[in-house]
Amino acid sequence: QVQLVESGGGLVQAGGSLRLSCAASGRTFSSAAMGWFRQAPGKEREFVAAISWSGSRSYYADSVKGRFTISRDNAKNTVYLQMNSLKPEDTAIYYCAAKIPFGASRSVGDYDYWGQGTQVTVSS
């Protein structure tokens, strides 16, 4: 069992930065691939970024590549999403997710555990 709690969302102007954190409980965190997804009003949840259990591999949606960076600290049971050069179209609720066993995926349906989400709003 893994419980996930996101934090770090907020309101920021276009061009600004935010860092999201996802704190995980449970001994299986270090063997879980982790992902960040987002959902804007009226839209389906979409993949943003994912990272392998070791942190050696990361994957990004084309829309955020070069602007967002996913990382993890297994000693702290935490995964991060550094978001730079934010755009109004990045506005959404951002969700952290865990996939056990390891093996990062871009698919919503592959993830077993989800956080409650944190709101990110980017003003123009």
Spacing of C-alpha 114 from chain mean position: 10
Is the Cβ–Cβ distance between 31 and 52 less than 8 Å?
no
| Distance separating alpha carbons of residues 40 and 48, to the nearest angstrom | 12
The overall longest dimension of the chain from CA atoms, in Å, is 41
| pLDDT tens digit sequence for 48-90 | 999 999 999 999 999 999 999 999 999 999 999 999 999 999 9
| pLDDT tens digit sequence for 93-112 | 999 999 987 688 999 999 99
| Distance separating alpha carbons of residues 91 and 109, to the nearest angstrom | 22
State both tokens at 113.
């555990």
